[in-house]
Chains A and B, each alone.
Chain A
Amino acid sequence: MKRTLLTAVMFASLVATAHASGAGPEDVFVQRTLPDVPAKAYLGGQLGLLLPSYPRVQLIPAWRVLASADAGKPLLPFSEDAWRRACCDAGALNVAMDGPATPAIKAWLDARTQAGQSAPRSVPQPLKPFGKNEWDAFLNCPDPAFTFATDTLARLRQRPDATPERVRTWVQAQDQVFDHCRPDGSALQKPAALAASEPPFWRQARDYQRAATAFYAGDWAAAKAGFDAIARDDAHPWQAWALVGGLRAQVREASLNDRLHPEPAGEADELLRSLQAGVERLTAIAARNPEAAAAARGAQDLLALTRAKLLPPQRLAELGTELRRLDREPGRQALADWVRLADARYDEQPELRRREQAGDPLLDWTSTLQACEAEAGPRADAFKHAVAEWRRAPKAALWLVPALHCADGQASPRTDIDALLQAAARLPDSHPATPTLRWQQLRLLREIGQADAARALLPRAAALAKPSGGGRNLVAQQGLALARNPDEAAPWLARAWSGWADADTGAQGKADATRYALAADGAAYVATRLTLSQWQRLVQRDVLPTPLRRSLAEALWWRAEFIGQTDRAVWAAQQIRTLDRRYAPVVQPYLAAATDDERREAIWRAGLGWGLSARLYSGAGVRDGSGALNKAPAEDAVASAWCSFTEADAEGTGDTTVERAPPLPAEDASPELAAERAALKAVGPATAAYARWVQARAKRLPAADDLDWLLYVGVQSTRGGCVGADNGAQSRALHTLLHKRFPRSPWAAKAPYWYR
């Protein structure tokens, strides 16, 4: 059984946009699923770099921007509200756990307090569990329900006949309404009808509360009867909303009972006819009474939603037509509905999508662009199709974007590539497609061997990409790949973290402060392409942010120390101290050391105690450059300052495939680089180097005060991770030495085993 839940009011939260949490490391430099420029700018035409990884909801606004520009028409963009409904509105399903679940509930509670009422029996909960084990939930009482109650209370208090007792009993009844949003297991009371002696208005208010209670309780027959009775009364102040309530009761009943499907057609037709009649009646009421307009809109939304559920292909086509009209701003719900219908219809049915995309221009363009990230075969097909579409209107940019994205410098026909590159070059920088096209020109020019032309284009491409942090990083990847020497590479090494986006909730934002790091390609470049003297010059380049220079100095320090380039190691330690004063006491013992042995001990202790490391952290692995340095607990210390001196030791997203980086520039065949890399490789992993050092030290200084702890660290370090070929032997030797020399040491007690 596959059942879809329906919220009666919050159409936009019908199906939350969900992705695979934890499904692979994320690219911290480029938001792959949404633009990182402000929404208003993106919708208004500043597209930044359009990515094939964007979902439909991001691509449709871009389609409108490009199509309008190509047609020479003023852009009538989506409103931010319309876009958020489509992309990011899962908020109604996210509830706070340490207070009122939503702001609207808090506002309702505040309004009650201001009306002089004591706290309710329980705080309302909007989500109602269902199912045998109650593992699933649906949005029973959305925010507008609480807002409606808050507004109603304010209006009631203004009435001349609003005695304190009448207000109190109304609030008490409303509490009983909301008690049914999420029953807490206790026996719930329903509001009773008011005595005939009460004024008609207050009795009418109570009748509405009684119908609403039945609705939230899931008593559809009672809800419908209650709402219908009010709806028949032309003098009832809640007539319009009762009409909506009756329609919602029908739809929700169908939804929760798994009947909101196109089949059987008879049932679907009956429901649609009923809704249509309700909408027509409300429209007529609204024509007489403007206060009913909001209710009429609610009913229209409900009808649109139900048509989407019951007649998905027809509704998809209608919405597509609406979205493609460039001379009119689309309705606030059109994008959200089209995207959800298209996602539901095509995401798991690629064959259906392929069959139908020829008849749907939006689906065709978005699917073709998305295919540019697919495997070689589908990508080549998409390229062929995009080129054919582009040739129909070669001055337009709309199809030039997927054509260039899908082009493969090695595999696509050269005549096509040349034609596309010429067309892209002709497009003025003011066109909204140009940032994307310049970036793709860079890539293609590099791939077809026209590196000089690509380098000449770099400054323009970088300038166009600047408003988007992720865009700047994508151009920087190309800049690094085109670098012929470290000086050319340096400007492209520092990458700022892009904004964050929560795939589950759709929430997004930017980091509190700009953080720079090496990306995986930059870390690999520094670790594998530079001699230590080139590395040293890189540390001096103020084109790099200071925290990154400090980090590079730290990694250089270890390498220089361990291959005997003492002067360079001392210089690096001085740089660490200069670039970040917090590190001054950490490197001071090294700088004060008079002998090689003292220096080696100082660097190990800086690593064990303070976490200084030879690793070229990249991506999310980069350390924060603020706050106090904290000394690591002695018990947790391990010799893990590096894994391999000859590779980029990345943490987090240290993966060029995640960041989709192009190949690094070719390796320089200098003898100096080869010799250094051989020496660095011979050092082996930190675990092995530490084991050798601590044993030698034990011979040299057998009475040292904390040798037991140093040996304990050695044993713990051999537990796993990056270890040498003789790890087992080293582990056993350290363990033996620790227990033989210090049998009563607490550190010996904490290391009962050695490791193979």
Chain B
Amino acid sequence: MVAAVAGAEVDIAWVWDHQAPPLQASAWAVTVTQIQLDGATLTERPRTRTLPPHGSRTVIPVVHVEPDARRAAQPLTDVQRQAITRRVLGVATGSTSGWVQLDFEARPSQRDSYHALVRDIRAALPAATKLSVTVLAWQCRSAAWMQPLAADEVVPMFFQLGRDSDAWLEQAVSGGPQLQPRCRQAAGFSPSLTPPARLPANWQRRYWFNLQRGRATAWPADLQQLVWPTVPSP
């Protein structure tokens, strides 16, 4: 087995809890746990679908945080911040990539506490472990969202963009000229919306999402082939 160079991957498969990772990908970002905010408390649902052996691939563990859909989003409590931080630190110990990712679509009313959470995590992580955070594309237009964000990598998502989808996809294929500069190195894409060939080189790390609805767990072969045309060595 040949170890991959940590952090050097360009095309990373983003793998939900219920999904099997695409075997042709050379790097996986894997949701290790899903944390549900529930009022002032929080519950966790660890990953239960076993990953196949990652072999030479590097793996970025992901902690997904889900806001409470039933209520107006409240700022994170200290207990919630501490619990999420602990979980990120815990999963980071198993990282084979040198990265760990926080996937949390914080609402505007949670902005300050979200920034504090990211600061907490960054401060607590070892210096050698890099922190990646996903953000909504529109947040990348806001200095107020981006400047205080203490992450090593910011990953705007270029899919499920609503009515302005065309304008956002144009940003994706033109390298994000209207985004805050730190939003122009890494991003999340769907191969069906923005095939790799359309993307400029400034996206140095590209997270690929399988957006198939429902219970499907496998990547469609054609989309997999589009992003990872060759199978990595075992």
Most buried by A among B32, B36, B45: B45
Q: Given A134-B94, A135-B47, A23 and B215 touching (CB < 8 A)?
A: no
- Interface residue? B234 (CB, 8 A): no
Q: Kindly identify which residue among B50, B141, B142, B179 contacts A2, using a CB–CB cutoff of 8 Å.
A: B50
Would you call A654 and B162 a contact (CB within 8 A)?
Answer: yes
Q: Given A19-B214, A21-B66, A98-B42, A5 and B50 touching (CB < 8 A)?
A: yes
**Residues on the B chain within 8 Å of A98, using CB:** 41-42, 79-80, 83
What are 7 A-B pairs with beta-carbon distances under 8 A?
Answer: A2-B20, A20-B210, A23-B214, A500-B69, A502-B36, A720-B167, A721-B167
**Residues on the A chain within 8 Å of B123, using CB:** none
B residues lining the A interface (CB < 8 Å): 16-20, 30, 32, 34-36, 41-53, 59, 61, 64, 66, 69-72, 79-80, 83, 87, 91, 94, 96, 138, 141-144, 160, 162-164, 167, 171, 177-179, 210-218
CB of A718 to closest CB in B, whole Å: 10
Would you call B32 and A135 a contact (CB within 8 A)?
Answer: yes
List 4 additional contacts besides A98-B41, A511-B70; criterion CB under 8 Å.
A18-B215, A135-B91, A348-B216, A720-B141
CB of A339 to closest CB in B, whole Å: 11
Give CA–CA (A720, B51) in the complex, Å: 40
Would you call A94 and B59 a contact (CB within 8 A)?
Answer: no
Q: Kindly identify which residue among A4, A135, A504 contacts B45, using a CB–CB cutoff of 8 Å.
A: A504
- Interface residue? A746 (CB, 8 A): no
Most buried by B among A135, A643, A719: A135
Would you call B215 and A347 a contact (CB within 8 A)?
Answer: yes
Q: Closest A-chain residue to B47, C-beta based? A: A136
Would you call A135 and B94 a contact (CB within 8 A)?
Answer: yes
CB of B92 to closest CB in A, whole Å: 11
Q: Closest B-chain residue to A25, C-beta based? A: B160
**Residues on the B chain within 8 Å of A5, using CB:** 48, 50
Per-residue interface assignment for chain A, residues 478 to 502, with 1 indicating a CB less than 8 Å from any chain B CB and 0 otherwise: 0000000000000000000000101
Q: Closest B-chain residue to A99, C-beta based? A: B41
- Interface residue? A138 (CB, 8 A): yes
- Interface residue? A755 (CB, 8 A): yes
**Residues on the B chain within 8 Å of A650, using CB:** 162-163
CB of A722 to closest CB in B, whole Å: 7
CB of B27 to closest CB in A, whole Å: 14
Give CA–CA (A650, B161) in the complex, Å: 12
CB of B169 to closest CB in A, whole Å: 13
**Residues on the A chain within 8 Å of B59, using CB:** 133, 135
Would you call B66 and A504 a contact (CB within 8 A)?
Answer: yes
Would you call B36 and A512 a contact (CB within 8 A)?
Answer: no
- Interface residue? A80 (CB, 8 A): no
- The A114-156 residues at the B interface (CB cut-off 8 A) are 127, 129, 131, 133-138
Q: Closest A-chain residue to B142, C-beta based? A: A636
Q: Given A2-B50, A136-B50, A720-B141, A97 and B44 touching (CB < 8 A)?
A: yes
Would you call A90 and B45 a contact (CB within 8 A)?
Answer: yes
- Interface residue? A361 (CB, 8 A): no
Give CA–CA (A651, B161) in the complex, Å: 10
- Interface residue? A459 (CB, 8 A): no
Q: Closest B-chain residue to A520, C-beta based? A: B163
Q: Given A98-B79, A504-B17, A654-B163, A636 and B71 touching (CB < 8 A)?
A: no
- Interface residue? A706 (CB, 8 A): no
Give CA–CA (A643, B166) in the complex, Å: 14
Give CA–CA (A93, B45) in the complex, Å: 6
Which 4 pairs between the two chains have the least Cβ-Cβ distance? A18-B18, A133-B94, A137-B46, A720-B178
**Residues on the B chain within 8 Å of A505, using CB:** 36, 45
Give CA–CA (A412, B9) in the complex, Å: 51
Would you call A651 and B48 a contact (CB within 8 A)?
Answer: no
**Residues on the B chain within 8 Å of A343, using CB:** 215
**Residues on the A chain within 8 Å of B215, using CB:** 17-19, 55, 343, 347
CB of A328 to closest CB in B, whole Å: 30
Give CA–CA (A655, B163) in the complex, Å: 8
**Residues on the A chain within 8 Å of B87, using CB:** 97
Would you call A624 and B18 a contact (CB within 8 A)?
Answer: no
- Interface residue? A280 (CB, 8 A): no
Q: Kindly identify which residue among A94, A511, A720 contacts B43, using a CB–CB cutoff of 8 Å.
A: A94
Give CA–CA (A297, B71) in the complex, Å: 41
Per-residue interface assignment for chain A, residues 633 to 658, with 1 indicating a CB less than 8 Å from any chain B CB and 0 otherwise: 10110000001000001111011000
Would you call B48 and A16 a contact (CB within 8 A)?
Answer: yes
- Interface residue? A756 (CB, 8 A): yes
- Interface residue? A24 (CB, 8 A): yes
**Residues on the A chain within 8 Å of B53, using CB:** 1
- Interface residue? A509 (CB, 8 A): yes
Would you call B42 and A97 a contact (CB within 8 A)?
Answer: yes
Would you call B211 and A24 a contact (CB within 8 A)?
Answer: yes
**Residues on the B chain within 8 Å of A750, using CB:** 143
**Residues on the B chain within 8 Å of A17, using CB:** 215
Give CA–CA (A670, B5) in the complex, Å: 66
Would you call A138 and B48 a contact (CB within 8 A)?
Answer: yes
CB of A33 to closest CB in B, whole Å: 9
**Residues on the B chain within 8 Å of A643, using CB:** 163-164
Would you call B213 and A652 a contact (CB within 8 A)?
Answer: no
**Residues on the B chain within 8 Å of A651, using CB:** 162-163
**Residues on the B chain within 8 Å of A2, using CB:** 20, 50, 52
Q: Given A136-B46, A511-B70, A756-B177, A23 and B142 touching (CB < 8 A)?
A: no
**Residues on the B chain within 8 Å of A16, using CB:** 45, 48
Q: Closest B-chain residue to A13, C-beta based? A: B48
Q: Given A348-B218, A504-B17, A96 and B41 touching (CB < 8 A)?
A: yes
- The A237-289 residues at the B interface (CB cut-off 8 A) are none
Give CA–CA (A225, B43) in the complex, Å: 37
- Interface residue? A95 (CB, 8 A): yes
- Interface residue? A428 (CB, 8 A): no
Would you call A23 and B212 a contact (CB within 8 A)?
Answer: yes
**Residues on the A chain within 8 Å of B164, using CB:** 643, 721-722
**Residues on the A chain within 8 Å of B142, using CB:** 636
- The A605-633 residues at the B interface (CB cut-off 8 A) are 624, 627, 633
- Interface residue? A22 (CB, 8 A): yes
Give CA–CA (A156, B53) in the complex, Å: 47
CB of A368 to closest CB in B, whole Å: 17
**Residues on the B chain within 8 Å of A18, using CB:** 16-18, 49, 215
- Interface residue? A3 (CB, 8 A): yes
Q: Closest A-chain residue to B45, C-beta based? A: A94
CB of A721 to closest CB in B, whole Å: 7
CB of B104 to closest CB in A, whole Å: 12
Q: Kindly identify which residue among B20, B36, B49, B52 contacts A94, using a CB–CB cutoff of 8 Å.
A: B36
**Residues on the A chain within 8 Å of B18, using CB:** 18-20
CB of A52 to closest CB in B, whole Å: 13
Would you call B96 and A131 a contact (CB within 8 A)?
Answer: no
CB of B125 to closest CB in A, whole Å: 17
Give CA–CA (A93, B43) in the complex, Å: 10
Q: Given A133-B94, A504-B45, A348 and B217 touching (CB < 8 A)?
A: yes
Give CA–CA (A22, B190) in the complex, Å: 13
Would you call B70 and A512 a contact (CB within 8 A)?
Answer: yes
Per-residue interface assignment for chain A, residues 1 to 43, with 1 indicating a CB less than 8 Å from any chain B CB and 0 otherwise: 1111100000000001111111111000000000000000000
**Residues on the A chain within 8 Å of B48, using CB:** 5, 16, 93, 136-138
